[in-house]
Amino acid sequence: MFPPKFWDQRGPLSSFLVPVSWVYNSIRVISKPLHHPITAPVPVLCVGNLNIGGSGKTPVAISIGQKLKRAGYIPHFLTRGYGGNLKKPTQVDPSHHTARDVGDEPLLLSNIAPVWIGANRASSAALACAAGADFLIMDDGFQNLSLKQDLSLLVIDGETGFGNGRVIPAGPLREDINSGIKRADAIVLIGDDTQSITQNINLPILKARMQPANIAGLQGEKFVAFAGIGRPKKFFDTLRKFSCDLILEREFPDHHHFTHSELEELLTISEQCKASLITTEKDFVRIPGHFRSSINVLKIEIEWIDPNFDKIFLKNFLKIWQK
């Protein structure tokens, strides 16, 4: 589904839904003591957020996974597998599984390291460790209490911040801001802090930006751009920023599974406009194979502002884990 407009700014409808948000958040708070997190035999790092979708968690998890591999670790990813049909703990096999099986983000993560999906992260962690993992990265597991997290990174988009600051359904938050920040060890701030979010947060701030990895071959070209992600506008704005000529922009709901008729329509439009199709990496894995050769992909990577991030991050994380 598309996120409601009132999630960005408070208004009458958002205020009307606040009592429902209180109930939702109260259930989460009451159920928390009932969980008894399992401690894994290896370090567990969680990359999460407070908002529903669109903050940059998966690119951050991918970047950290790459850095750990270069440092000699054998990281495995743990994720829920949102949007996929498989529910029990399963290792993702990109040669066999599709986005309908395991979700789109696990397929992206599998390009970097082994991935395990499943709602119970503790069960997935046990399987990952048995398979040789010496480091576990939870992608989007900040609210999951089944596995003890040694370090929790809270990813915040500097442009959108926390939206209207309210918990779902009155706003985009999975939990209230204060409780989430109390459980975090550090903030990963994506982009400029235009909302002044970090001024009142007494945690280490790791600054980063999203950068196109393959823009050189796309600049100056005409495109029909489409995306089914949390914030499609950000994708379109990035293309325009780097001199891509967008003839048409088409938005789809987050995690949308594209139909043949939708893709055929987009191909027809692009041919009529004498333009090429372009989408995101996350959308690309949800597109049937025989359409892929006709579609360009904008690849995104995380660029850490501090040039010494690798050394600082690893040193401090291992210090925390060894306590």
Q: Higher model confidence: residue 235 or residue 230?
A: 235
Cα separation, 104 vs 126, whole angstroms: 23
Q: What is the pLDDT of residue 276?
A: 97
Residue 199 pLDDT grade (very low, low, confident, very high; cuts 50, 70, 90): confident
Residue 30 pLDDT grade (very low, low, confident, very high; cuts 50, 70, 90): confident
Q: What is the pLDDT of residue 157?
A: 94
Cβ neighbours of residue 86 under 8 Å, at least 6 residues apart? 97, 101, 102, 117
310: pLDDT strictly greater than 80: no
28: pLDDT strictly greater than 90: no
Q: What is the pLDDT of residue 319?
A: 64
pLDDT tens profile 75-116: 999 999 988 999 899 999 999 999 999 999 999 999 999 999
Taken in order of first residue, the domains within the chain and their CATH numbers are 40-210+303-321 (3.40.50.300), 214-298 (3.40.50)
Looking at every residue in the chain, the average pLDDT score rounds to: 91
Residue 10 to residues 4, 47, 161: CA-CA distances in angstroms?
A: 11, 28, 14
